[in-house]
Amino acid sequence: MSKARGSLFARLRRLLLRTFLIVAGVWLAGILLFSFMPVPFSAVMVERQFSAWFSGDFSYVAHSDWVSMDEISPWMGLAVIAAEDQKFPEHWGFDMAAIQKAVSHNERSSRIRGASTLSQQTAKNLFLWDGRSWLRKGLEAGLTLGIETVWSKRRILTVYLNIAEFGEGVFGVEEASQRYFNKPARRLSASEAALLAAVLPNPIRFKVSAPSGYVRTRQQWILRQMRQLGGESFMAQHALR
């Protein structure tokens, strides 16, 4: 290798290292600031907005209205826990049993099953990009540990509910509640909360405004899980209200 090429590679390595340290510093600052400050927007919202602009859709607006947990119906928090992560109050960011089941399933089936907890989903939605890659999963794991270390479970759930995608351009439970039910999030019923949670696996494909048979079936399953978890008392028991 020539001296000039070696010098170039050294400069590139230093540049990559500085870039990584800057990005890591921004993420760390975000974790600290958003432990008490409202989240103005998420990485997924930015990604969706730029994607719409690049495709020529200038009418698309990724919008979210921040609300505190006190302004969200307890049914909504219970619904997403029942649907997405029933061990949320107990784990430290990762559900190892669910991960093992997902790995076993994915080895046998072409349909990929995920095992992301609410903490992992919050980290990904807030700081990272969409898609599947080992790089993104590795960064997600590190960010999840940071969030679980600094934030309370109540804070993680609050941020998740405020940045989750519930439809095209619809982010956050307050925006979703106003858009689909013409009411504030604090007045959502158990059935309405379960319907919102039912579209979370794919909020672009599944519609709250025009629920398919699958979405309705999933809504009923979530309602049963909510009852089995103990209803509203579950939220109070785990200090999530």
Residue 80 lies in a domain: yes
**Tally of structural domains, the chain:** 1
Tell me the Ramachandran region of residue 93: left when phi exceeds 0, alpha when psi lies from -120 to 50, beta otherwise: left
Residue 129 lies in a domain: yes
Residue 31 lies in a domain: no
69 CB neighbour count, 10 Å cutoff? 18
- What's the half-sphere exposure (Cβ side, CA atoms, 13 Å) at 223? 14
Residue 27 lies in a domain: no
| Sign of the CA dihedral with 88 first, then 91, 96, and 99 last | positive
Residue 188 lies in a domain: yes
Residue 135 lies in a domain: yes
* CATH number where 141 lies: 1.10.3810.10
CA distance 169 to 175: 10
Record the pTM: 0.88
For the chain, 241 residues long, give each residue's pLDDT as a single digit of tens. Answer: 556 666 767 777 777 777 777 877 888 889 999 999 999 999 999 999 989 898 888 888 888 899 999 999 999 999 999 999 999 999 998 887 777 775 554 545 555 555 689 999 999 999 998 877 788 889 999 999 999 999 999 999 999 999 999 999 999 999 999 999 999 999 999 999 999 999 999 999 999 999 999 999 999 999 999 999 999 899 999 989 8
Domain carrying residue 98: 38-238
Residue 16 lies in a domain: no
Residue 152 lies in a domain: yes
